[in-house]
Amino acid sequence: MAQSGEPNCAASREPSLLSVNASTQDNLERLGWDTFFSAQAADHPGLIPARVSRPDLNRYHLLSATGPLVGLLPGRARSAGQSKADLPTVGDWVLVSPIEEGQEDADAVPTVLIEVTLNRKSKFSRKEAGERYDEQVVAANIDTVFLVTGLDDNFNVKRIERYLLLAWTSGASPVIVLSKVDLCENLPPRLDKVEKIAMKTPIHVVSATNGQGMEGLREYVTRGKTVALLGSSGVGKSTITNYAATKSKSVSASQISAGKTAEGREKPPSNSFSKTCRLEQSSR
């Protein structure tokens, strides 16, 4: 779940993608732009910052201060990338340059060239087995990660411990979200077990069905902050995201679904994550 206001797309597309004013600066900050990234961008004057909302096969859907863009990665960047970890992923900030040719349709989303991927604040990775182990980053620049576990049959303290480790390694701040409390008949012993392993990580007990505890999640969904949800399939990540989006009209989704292996074991972030991971702009 990523907080972002909707950049004034249509209004600010003119006269140029490069024009920077108070409004575009505000739009960038709503998308998560801060001094960590602007300091890096200072080395590349003339390039335009944009955030990856969705990687596609050969192109990247980007959000910029002036609206959505479609980013192409030059072949040289792909071949220069030593590892898949170097390629832009959802949540990354990139610097782009406009492509002037072949854009006759004024209403079409502008196509740009991705020139630079900025260093990340945080990242969720998986190791890919191949000829050698290669790191693949499935989500970048996440501020807060909701570790979602159901209080129904999904409940598993060991899994929450694994999620915590993953979050601490990522650089994002974890928040334990125990969902579906409306389906839990005996909360205290389960809560007690989680408190013992939480190491002061905030714990929220919620039900997206009846709204219990949901307000408490709003404090993390603030201007310019990016929130991701990590949890096994069916624990309520989409429901929580939709609930928050409906209530605040200021959130969008970045969902990381941890799947199950054929044997029923929890899978670490996998390739499919990057496909389901979305960082979308939405209106405030």
Residues that bind Mg ion (CB under 5 A): 237-238
- Name the 3-class secondary structure at 244: helix
Contact flag: residue 182 with ligand GTP (CB under 6 A)? yes
* Total residues found in the chain within this entry: 284
Binding-site size for ligand GTP (CB under 6 A) equals: 16
With contacts defined by CB under 6 A, name the span among 63-71, 134-142, 176-184, 195-203 that binds ligand GTP: 176-184
Q: Are strands 60-64 and 48-55 parallel, antiparallel or unpaired?
A: antiparallel
**Phi/psi at 233 (nearest 5 deg)?**
-60, 135
- Closest CB to ligand GTP among 140 and 214? 214
How far apart (Å, rounded) are the C-alpha atoms in residues 116 and 47?
9
How far apart (Å, rounded) are the C-alpha atoms in residues 87 and 89?
6
How far apart (Å, rounded) are the C-alpha atoms in residues 250 and 252?
7
Contact flag: residue 216 with ligand GTP (CB under 6 A)? no
Q: Which of residues 221-240 bind ligand GTP (CB under 6 A)?
A: 231, 233-239
Q: Name the minimum Å distance from CB 226 to ligand GTP.
A: 18
Q: Name the minimum Å distance from CB 182 to ligand GTP.
A: 5
In angstroms, how far is the first alpha carbon of the chain from the final one? 14
- Closest CB to ligand GTP among 174 and 236? 236
- Closest CB to Mg ion among 83 and 233? 233
Our separate counts of H helices and E strands in the chain read: 8, 14
How far apart (Å, rounded) are the C-alpha atoms in residues 256 and 40?
27
**Binding residue (CB under 6 A) for ligand GTP from 23, 209, 222, 282:** 209
Q: Name the minimum Å distance from CB 33 to ligand GTP.
A: 28
Q: Name the minimum Å distance from CB 231 to ligand GTP.
A: 6
**Which tokens in the block code for residue 69?**
């863009």
- Closest CB to ligand GTP among 173 and 242? 242
- Name the 3-class secondary structure at 19: coil
Contact flag: residue 208 with ligand GTP (CB under 6 A)? yes
Q: Name the minimum Å distance from CB 53 to ligand GTP.
A: 18
Q: Are strands 255-258 and 227-232 parallel, antiparallel or unpaired?
A: parallel
Residue 78's contacts (CB-CB under 8 Å, 6 or more residues apart) are 87
Beta bridge partners of 226: 2
Closest Cα partner for 174 from 141, 201, 138?
201
Q: Name the minimum Å distance from CB 70 to ligand GTP.
A: 26
With contacts defined by CB under 6 A, name the span among 132-140, 180-188, 193-201, 267-275 that binds ligand GTP: 180-188
One character per residue 252-281, x = contact with ligand GTP (rule: CB under 6 A):
-----x------------------------
C-alpha neighbours within 13 Å on the C-beta side of residue 179: 25
**Which tokens in the block code for residue 160?**
């929450």
Q: Name the minimum Å distance from CB 256 to ligand GTP.
A: 9
**Binding residue (CB under 6 A) for ligand GTP from 179, 226, 250, 254:** 179
- Closest CB to ligand GTP among 40 and 209? 209
Interacting residues with ligand GTP (CB under 6 A): 179-180, 182-183, 207-209, 231, 233-239, 257
